[in-house]
Amino acid sequence: MRKANLANNHDWFEEDMDWYKKFLGRMLGAKRVVKYDDKLEILESLVIRLCALWEAFVEDELIDCLNIDCCSKYREELQLELPEHPTKDLCEAILVGPGYLDFKSVGDIRSRAGKILPDDVNPFKLIRSATAKRIDELYVMRNFLSHYSGKSRRALMKMYQNPPWELKNFRQPGDFLIAYNGKRLIQYIGALLDASEQMRGII
C-alpha cells in the first residue's frame, strides 16, 4: 500500500528548481553558443515548464495530504462513505479521477485545499502573500504564452503596470525576463522554492 511522504515531494521539487536556476545561469552565460533570440525562446519555454512542475508538485501534495488526513473533511464535503485509512491510490482516484487538476492561481489552490483538508494538514495556507503574488505573475505569463488571447495580453499588461515593475509599454515575456541577465526569472524560481519551504511547515 502506497503511503504519503511529503518530504519526498518537497525534495524532488526543490532539486528541480535548483537545477533550473543553474541551467538558467549556464544558458544566459553562453554568449556565442546560444544566440539572443534563442534565449528569448528558451526563457518563454521555461515559464511553461516551471508552471507544469509546480502543478505536478501541488497535485502530489494535495493527494498526499488527503491520504494523511484519512479523508475526514473530504468525507464530510462529499457526504461519501470512505474507508478510515484509504490508500494513496484511492486518494488520487477520489481527488483527480481519470483527468488532471488545473489551477488558476495560488488563491485557487488555497480555496480547493481548504475544502478538503483540515488546517493541520493544509500546507497551502502557509504560503505567504508575497510568494503567492510572484507565482501568480508566472501564471499570468504562462496563460499569455499558452494561447496569446486578447484577455491574457491585457492581464499581462496589467501585471507589468503594477508594482514593482511599473512598465508603460507591453513586452513579450521573453523580453521581460531576459532583462538584468535573467534576474526576474531567477526571482520567480525563487518564489517557487520559497513556497515549498513555507509549506514544509506542516511536516
3-state class of 96 per DSSP?
Answer: coil
Instruction: Count the neighbouring beta carbons within 10 Å of the beta carbon of residue 76.
Output: 11
Specify the pLDDT at position 92. 84
Specify the pLDDT at position 2. 47
* Segment 174-179 mean pLDDT: 96
Sign of CA dihedral 61, 122, 199, 177: positive
When pLDDT is cut at 50, 70 and 90, the band that residue 74 belongs to is low
* Within a domain: 43: yes
* Within a domain: 50: yes
The count of structural domains within the chain is: 1
Specify the pLDDT at position 41. 97
* Cα atoms in the Cβ-side hemisphere of radius 13 Å centred on 199: 29
Instruction: Give the residue carrying C-alpha cell 502530489.
Output: 60
Backbone angles phi, psi at 94, to 5 degrees: -65, -45
For 75-121, write each residue's pLDDT tens digit. Answer: 666 676 777 677 888 888 888 877 778 888 999 999 999 988 888 88
Specify the pLDDT at position 100. 78
* Within a domain: 1: no
Specify the pLDDT at position 1. 39
Range of the domain at 118: 6-202
Q: pLDDT higher for 145 or 88?
A: 145
Check if the beta carbon of residue 118 is closer than 8 Å to that of residue 72: yes
| CA distance to 9, 87, 91, 170, per residue, from 78 (Å) | 27, 18, 13, 45
For 113-124, write each residue's pLDDT tens digit. Answer: 998 888 888 999
* Within a domain: 130: yes
Check if the beta carbon of residue 41 is closer than 8 Å to that of residue 79: no
Check if the beta carbon of residue 70 is closer than 8 Å to that of residue 86: yes
* Within a domain: 148: yes
Mean pLDDT for the chain overall = 90
* Within a domain: 37: yes
Specify the pLDDT at position 141. 98
The reported pTM is 0.91
Question: Residue 155: pLDDT above 80?
Answer: yes
With the CA atoms of 16, 21, 27 and 29 taken in that order, what torsion angle do they form, in degrees rounded to the nearest 10?
-160
Specify the pLDDT at position 4. 63
For 21-66, write each residue's pLDDT tens digit. Answer: 999 999 999 888 899 999 999 999 999 999 999 999 999 999 898 8
* Within a domain: 163: yes
Quote the cell numbers at residue 58: 501541488
